[in-house]
Structure 1
Amino acid sequence: LAHWITDRDLPRRFDVPFLVARMPAGQQPVADEAEQFEPVWVRPADALARHDAGDFFIIFPTIRTLERLQAYPSVQAVLNACAVNDEPLFTSCPRAGLMNGHESRHMEHEPPFGELALVSPDGQIVHELAWQTQRPVPLLKNVQRLTAPNPGFMTGPGTNSYLVGDPVGGHIAIDPGPDIPEHIDRLWRAAGGDIRAIVCTHSHPDHSPGAARLQALCAEKPPILGLPSAPTSRENSRFTPERALADGERLVLQGQDGATHTLQVVHTPGHAANHLCLLLEEDGLLFSGDHILNGSTTVIDPPDGHMGAYLESLDKLDRLCELHGVDFILPAHGYVLGDLKQTPDNPSAPGHGGARAAIAHLKAHRLAREAKVARAMQSQPQGTMDDWVKIAYDDVPERLWPVAKRSLLAHVERIQSLGGFNL
């Protein structure tokens, strides 16, 4: 059924198969009184409910296994799933951090996992996962993240501003965020006042407005860089950089001990026409802006947003990650995505690195959604956007449908451009 490897922080580690079998009627379980005590037959959902109520202790791997088991309607359904091939249904070697000071353990598919793999590769339980905006979070010795105090429906925990560099070579600020004075001041202080350039991944109001205030705080007045907003952008998303960046251009800082920090500019239209990502070449990190998020999919809002361009940009980023061996993606909203490459101590990682796996998963999700949109259009060829969103986004809460209709329109336009429908 499952293959569990205990986390790296534990002094004694185990490599454990979880097995599943149909037991004959009338069997009574007997404990060995060594690793098993008071065995009972119990449905997964009932065991989890009793655990939540506090009267049924279960360890982490069992909790997560039961959560998966409860999705199956019968014993036979579980056995059928396990019989598909000789591999377990899932393999996991979880990672642990802190949530408000308390141990918090996470599997590979859960949002904090990639961040823990980046900051604590050997499994040390030291990284605080609770979102806070008062101080920067060190991700590597030359990368800091400061989250703006603008949490919300569209921004998640807030906009992530990043600082790349060190005290010798100075810093490049990525996405200063909204013009919130206290956030901009903290970002400036985190860099020791030494910011050599300010880069905005795109012009949306939760990313670029803080650039001018941050520049004004700096004695040397670093240039504000990015791409100018296109004529298709909304009124509140207008942005004109002091210098437009070119696709493939490199921004280089000469740091301490001869180290360099090189950010390669990657034009990635789709979410916005002027969207760009940045690749930190020496560390194999991709700053993805809003093109790739953790925990949600970005909105594609025509006409400035374009689904075809978005998917092509995903392919472009995948090729770049393969070329540079990128393991981790640092989004503008949410935790770090990715995982270290597969090793004997990291057996559940995707073989080609976590960044490319995240991109592949995202593209598959987008194309699956587009297939649902196409089916909705086929079922109601005279339907409206309101009709189609109910079908194509039936797995999304209704309160989100007004936003979902923006991406729905982008999918409809792409389907029409491919000759699927003529509406």
Structure 2
Amino acid sequence: MTYAAALPGQPRGGVLSGQATPRTVNVLAPNASAMTLDGTNTWIISEPDSDLAVVVDPGPLDDIHLKAVITAAERAGKRVALTLLTHGHPDHAEGAARFAALTRTAVRALDPALRLGDEGLEAGDVVTTGGLELRVVPTPGHTSDSLCFHLPADRAVLTGDTILGRGTTMVAHPDGRLGDYLDSLRRLRSLAVDDGVHTVLPGHGPVLEDAQGAVEFYLAHRAHRLAQVETAAEKGFTTPSQVVAEVYADVDRSLWPAAELSVRAQLEYLREHGLI
């Protein structure tokens, strides 16, 4: 199973594979599905004048893909020196141990269970491999261990599954929590407004060139869905499956299991705030 769950909405973006910004290249994993869109985006990041690269989210355990990432780095004159994870879902992290073995690199992640080496990742950390500056931004909500990486030099942010290049993501209840997710979106809005971030480099789907617009869309979408779930509950639809059938009738049924996780998170949020 994969875990992005691209629900309807969100403007379409640009680059799917290849050079996205001066410091980033995307290698698309061959795991396309309704849940992963075109596949998982594996990001190679480096300073133009450095021979060292950082890879974010090696993706699924697929040797062809993992070796393609290494080849893409080598063709650019880079050696992979570090592996980072946005979160632990298999479509992003399953291949990390194998990739680390192929590249002889450490794996840094928020979740200690995913780390290979002595260092993890925490809020406020700055990754400086090869002169690169990647700032760690905690963005729990999709999962409790979700992180984004702010790349100031390119005015970009790598968002994993927190913001997708197409559609909207799910809140993976019970590990993911809606209140945390809304706070994370507001944190990303601050990056756009206060720090000048304009490019979203997502874990799935194309690059988005209007970071603030993407975040505002996500916040509006969440508010709209939450109001729909509240109305459904007031009508007497009390179970998550009943609410999904009422609120997500416009969504392909193959995505209803993912929508149900988001509904569970929404119902929990409404109960916690005394709204149902």
Given the two structures, how large is their TM-score scaled by the length of structure 2? 0.89
Relative to structure 1, the CA distance from residue 248 to residue 182 in structure 2 (aligned partners, 3 Å threshold; closer, same or farther) is: same
Relative to structure 1, the CA distance from residue 336 to residue 378 in structure 2 (aligned partners, 3 Å threshold; closer, same or farther) is: same
Q: Shift of residue 313 of structure 1?
A: 0.5
1:380 to 232, 236, 251: 236
On the 8 A contact 2:30/2:65 being kept in 1, the answer is yes
Q: Shift of residue 191 of structure 1?
A: 1.4
Give the aligned partner of residue 250 of structure 1: 126
| Distance (Å, rounded) in 2 between the aligned partners of 1:171 and 1:139 | 15
1:346-365 aligned at under 5 Å gives the runs: 354-365=210-221
The residue identity in structure 2 corresponding to 1:143 is: T
1:371 to 217, 227, 234: 227
Give the aligned partner of residue 68 of structure 2: 186
Kindly provide the CA deviation profile for residues 227-265 of structure 1, in whole angstroms up to 9, marking residues without a partner as x.
116xxxxxxxx63443211101111144xxxxx421000
State yes or no: 1:322 paired with 2:193: yes
Give the aligned partner of residue 265 of structure 2: 410
Give the aligned partner of residue 239 of structure 1: 114
**Counterpart of 1:146 in 2: which secondary structure?**
strand
1:226 to 109, 131, 138: 109
Kindly provide the CA deviation profile for residues 96-122 of structure 1, in whole angstroms up to 9, marking residues without a partner as x.
xxxxxxxxxxxxx7513x44xxxxxxx
Give the aligned partner of residue 5 of structure 2: none
State yes or no: 1:198 paired with 2:83: yes
Identity across aligned pairs (percent)? Answer: 34
Given the two structures, how large is their TM-score scaled by the length of structure 1? 0.59
On the 8 A contact 2:86/2:148 being kept in 1, the answer is yes
On the 8 A contact 1:199/1:226 being kept in 2, the answer is yes
On the 8 A contact 2:155/2:197 being kept in 1, the answer is yes
Kindly provide the CA deviation profile for residues 134-189 of structure 1, in whole angstroms up to 9, marking residues without a partner as x.
xx611233210000011112111100000011463410000000110010001111
1:111 to 6, 12, 22: 12
Give the aligned partner of residue 154 of structure 1: 35
Q: Shift of residue 334 of structure 1?
A: 0.3
| Distance (Å, rounded) in 2 between the aligned partners of 1:282 and 1:142 | 8
Q: Shift of residue 366 of structure 1?
A: 0.7
The residue identity in structure 2 corresponding to 1:163 is: I
**Counterpart of 1:373 in 2: which secondary structure?**
helix
Kindly provide the CA deviation profile for residues 315-351 of structure 1, in whole angstroms up to 9, marking residues without a partner as x.
111112222201110100000012xxxxxxxxxxxxx
On the 8 A contact 2:83/2:105 being kept in 1, the answer is yes
1:208-227 aligned at under 5 Å gives the runs: 208-218=93-103, 221-227=104-110
State yes or no: 1:171 paired with 2:56: no
The residue identity in structure 1 corresponding to 2:241 is: D
| Distance (Å, rounded) in 1 between the aligned partners of 2:257 and 2:139 | 25
Higher Rg of the two aligned structures: 1
Q: How many residues align?
A: 262
State yes or no: 1:309 paired with 2:165: no
State yes or no: 1:273 paired with 2:144: yes
Q: State the structure with bigger RCO (CA 8 A, min sep 6), 1 or 2.
A: 2
State yes or no: 1:285 paired with 2:156: yes
On the 8 A contact 2:108/2:114 being kept in 1, the answer is no
| Distance (Å, rounded) in 2 between the aligned partners of 1:283 and 1:399 | 37
**Counterpart of 1:195 in 2: which secondary structure?**
strand
Relative to structure 1, the CA distance from residue 397 to residue 168 in structure 2 (aligned partners, 3 Å threshold; closer, same or farther) is: closer
| Distance (Å, rounded) in 1 between the aligned partners of 2:266 and 2:64 | 39
**Counterpart of 2:205 in 1: which secondary structure?**
coil
| Distance (Å, rounded) in 2 between the aligned partners of 1:203 and 1:156 | 18
| Distance (Å, rounded) in 1 between the aligned partners of 2:243 and 2:107 | 42
